[in-house]
Amino acid sequence: MGNTFVMELGRRIEKETSSVIVGCEQTIRLVLAALFAGGHVLMEDVPGTGKTLLCRTIAACIDVPFARIQFTPDLLPSDITGMSVYRQDTGDFRFLPGPVFTGFLLADEINRAVPRTQSALLECMEERQVTEGGESRPLPSPFMVLATQNPVENRGTFPLPEAQLDRFMVRLKMGYPDHDGSMALLGRFLRGETQRKVSPVSNGAQVLRAVREAGECRISDVCADYIVRIVEETRNSERVELGVSGRGMLALASVSRAYASLDGRDYVIPDDIKYLAPCVLSHRLIMRSGEDPDDFVREILGRIWAPTENDR
């Protein structure tokens, strides 16, 4: 029995998003997989590839509150979470919520803020709450952080600490469009169709339902063992200084469930895990010799035995 609700919801969002974003169908699906898995996404690529536009467009397809924060070196933690201000008329303090109290938070160029400001998102991303003045305030649900960063430019940037990176369920790279995609993009520009608007095709309640149903997707014992063996290989290799955490292992399982549900299945197959592992695990690794973590994860997948679909 398949998961038709998640599949149909995903297809509606994908279709509407693709009317604006050209040639990124698989990236769109991976963002939706993270959304339906209850996770956050780090979009990493050079400028001009459509990272911010993709995030804004997907958020516009879902009728939930949206906020954007442009991260800069002078941004303060309270500019994100909010602060308590003294009211002279009542003689007490009143909490003014920051932009993090939203459904979709676009953290644009997150690596331009100083580490103390970046860390303001740690509690928000993991516990879905903000603690200020000794009081914890829950964030709206659904809640998702879509962050972008430029991995090439180093001037005026502050690398995300490992604890922050570990909060992102997946790290995606837009990449350049192929020839057909570039022709379609240029054609829209020449026709003056650069300001296309999307209409909401979903809402918060439907997203929460998709999260619940995706969480019921089955992972067999052999697929669970496959996930564990992949993660253990990152921890046991002498080429790795910091392997994948338990959070990373659970993230791979969660996003595999959501990805399978988007395909209309109520069970995970090994190919789901194998396809998703690089974008879920590589940003959580610290290599000893500067080796590319993506290449290392793909090397692991190439030498570890993967169960067949009949083994599930």
Q: Give the integer Cα–Cα distance in Å for 53 and 51.
A: 6
Do 230 and 122 have their domain in common? no
Domain boundary among 156, 173, 208: 208
How confident is the model over 113-142, as a mean pLDDT?
90
Higher-pLDDT residue of 196, 93: 93
Q: Which runs of E-coded beta strand occur in the chain?
A: 41-44, 62-63, 66-70, 82-87, 92-97, 104-108, 129-132, 135-138, 144-149, 170-172, 202-203, 240-242, 286-287
Do 149 and 200 have their domain in common? yes
pLDDT above 70 (res 2): no
**pLDDT for 275:** 96
**pLDDT for 290:** 80
**pLDDT band at 93; cut points 50, 70, 90:** confident
In the chain, helix, strand, coil percent, each to 5? 45, 15, 35
CA distances, 55 to each of 60, 67, 105, 239, 293 (Å): 9, 11, 9, 34, 25
Q: pLDDT tens-digit profile of 11-58?
A: 999 999 988 888 788 999 999 999 999 999 998 877 776 778 888 888
**pLDDT for 298:** 95
**pLDDT for 154:** 66
**pLDDT band at 311; cut points 50, 70, 90:** low
Q: Give the integer Cα–Cα distance in Å for 58 and 208.
A: 16
Domain boundary among 156, 181, 208: 208
What phi-psi label fits residue 244: left (phi over 0), alpha (psi between -120 and 50 degrees) or beta?
Answer: beta
Do 69 and 92 have their domain in common? yes
Do 101 and 233 have their domain in common? no
Question: Which two structure tokens, joined as six digits, stand for 125?
Answer: 């991303």
Do 224 and 133 have their domain in common? no
Count of structural domains within the chain: 2
Q: pLDDT tens-digit profile of 213-265?
A: 999 999 999 999 999 999 999 999 899 999 999 999 999 999 999 999 999 99
Q: pLDDT tens-digit profile of 167-203?
A: 999 999 877 777 887 788 788 778 876 667 788 999 9
How confident is the model over 125-153, as a mean pLDDT?
88
Burial class (CB in 10 A: 0-12, 13-18, 19+), 205: exposed
**pLDDT for 88:** 79
Q: pLDDT tens-digit profile of 263-287?
A: 999 999 999 999 999 999 999 999 9
Do 149 and 281 have their domain in common? no
Residue type, 283: H
How confident is the model over 124-130, as a mean pLDDT?
93
Which range, of 46-50, 117-121, 300-304, averages the lowest pLDDT? 46-50
Burial class (CB in 10 A: 0-12, 13-18, 19+), 263: middle
Q: Evaluate whether residue 311 is within a structural domain.
A: no
Domain boundary among 151, 182, 208: 208
Do 273 and 236 have their domain in common? yes
Average of per-residue pLDDT values in the chain: 89
Say if residues 251 and 277 touch (Cβ distance below 8 Å): no
**pLDDT for 22:** 80
> For 137, which DSSP code?
E
Q: Evaluate whether residue 167 is within a structural domain.
A: yes
Range of the domain at 44: 4-208
**pLDDT for 25:** 87
Say if residues 148 and 51 touch (Cβ distance below 8 Å): yes
Do 33 and 176 have their domain in common? yes
Do 55 and 171 have their domain in common? yes
Q: Evaluate whether residue 312 is within a structural domain.
A: no
Do 43 and 179 have their domain in common? yes
Say if residues 138 and 95 touch (Cβ distance below 8 Å): no
**pLDDT band at 138; cut points 50, 70, 90:** very high
Question: Which two structure tokens, joined as six digits, stand for 105?
Answer: 């938070």
Q: What is the CATH number of the domain that holds 298?
A: 1.10.8.80
